Structure 1
Amino acid sequence: MASRHIILASTSPRRQELIASLRVPFEIMPSDASEEISSGLEPEQIVEILSLRKANTVYRKLSEANKHGIVVGSDTIVVLEGDVLGKPVDDQDAVRMLSLLQGRTHKVYSGVACVDVVTGQSIVRHRVTSVSMKPLNHEQIMSYVRSGEPSDKAGAYAIQGLGACIVDSIEGDYFNVVGLPISLLSDMLSQMGMDVLSSF
């Protein structure tokens, strides 16, 4: 355990903060993997495919160096009645998404992939959380968009930020909505011989 570390295939500040909370050594290596996906896939397939793609892209860069680590890739999407909402392309798109979500319940899917750099073994899982939004008027939506927070967030909101003000309730894993289900990840790391709770 002491010689092992995590290589996070993400530049997301939120995921970096969550990984840091595990108190195990980690480094950041952006994957720059394509997020293009085939049509007709189920939400859980989308997040698992993209998570593994991100992790494998970094793994291929590292394998020759033979680093003794575990690559972690993750992807999050918001799904409203079967429609996938990714990151808004601009403020107008953010307004559209938030107008759709307000006063309704949607699901957040996060996929997690772990790849052992030494063995090449991979594990891929996902988790789902239901989120209920408060009813919002147009000015409230516009004001939130003007804050700049929705710009790079799936579904155009951040539950860990100002977006907490527009969420009524959740059912499931809070960290899944932030973008990385820590409890699930710790179980997956344990399967690969990195028991987070045994490192102290």
Structure 2
Amino acid sequence: MPVLVLASASPARLATLRDAGFDPQVIVSGVDESQVAGVPPAELALRLAELKCSAVAGRPEVPLDALVLGCDSVLELDGEALGKPADADDAVRRWHAMRGRSGVLHTGHCLRDVAADQQSAATASTVVHFADLDDDEIEAYVATGEPLHVAGAFTVDGLGGGFVTGIEGDHHNVVGVSLPLLRGLVRELGHRWTDLWSR
């Protein structure tokens, strides 16, 4: 059976995949995300996922029978793509703009079958509704450091979960990897989802 390789340092993506029955090998891509600019948020997420996947798929330590998964997430708010905040002040500014509103979390997925030299890619998009936080809540949340390490400066599976009032779409996509979309990519490449489960 193929070996799943996750081209991401995201602990949330790794945990989601493990909870879904997989035991992926992690190889961080090291891609400079600033090299892609000037494209719409959904396309940005997909392009970065493809770059991360490509950067890892060609490495010598990748098993020859690997399926390499690259992912990248951005939050779209007012047409702007928001990745990880630059610093705490940036995170505070973002939450001032986000509170009481909704955004769209886009996660690009790129899956490459190394042995077959084929890949399939797509973007999942989920609407996220944010609570109307007061200034003290924003300051306290940013002070935890959590928002500094994630796209859109929030989590739904961590301390930020209480600040998300609802979602429309795939919950796992907001965490960082859409399991239904990934299953579709696995099938497009001719593999069975259940065969990838760790035994």
What's the TM-score once normalised by structure 2's chain length? Answer: 0.93
Count of residue pairs the alignment pairs up:
197
Q: Which piece of structure 1 moves more, 148-157 or 187-196?
A: 187-196
* 2:151 match: 154
2:103 alignment partner, one of 101, 106, 123: 106
* Partner amino acid, structure 2, of 1:6: L
After superposition, the C-alpha distances for 1:73-111 in whole angstroms (9 at most, x for unaligned) are 000000101011111111111101111100001110000
Q: Does the aligned pair in 2 maintain the 1:37–1:46 contact within 8 Å?
A: no
* 1:28 match: 26
* Partner amino acid, structure 2, of 1:173: D
1:72 alignment partner, one of 69, 72, 83: 69
Task: Please show how residues 1-200 of structure 1 align to structure 2 within 5 Å.
Answer: 3-62=1-60, 67-197=64-194
> Equivalent pairs: percent with the same residue?
30
Q: Does the aligned pair in 2 maintain the 1:62–1:117 contact within 8 Å?
A: no
Name stretches of at least 5 consecutive residues in structure 2 with no aligned partner.
Answer: none
Name stretches of at least 5 consecutive residues in structure 1 with no aligned partner.
Answer: none
Q: 1:199 to 1:9 in 2, by over 3 A?
A: closer
Q: 1:150 to 1:199 in 2, by over 3 A?
A: closer
SS at match of 1:10: coil
What is the CA-CA distance between 1:128 and the residue it aligns to? Answer: 0.6
What is the CA-CA distance between 1:25 and the residue it aligns to? Answer: 4.1
Q: Which piece of structure 1 moves more, 87-96 or 14-23?
A: 14-23
Distance of 1:116 and 1:68 partners within structure 2? 7
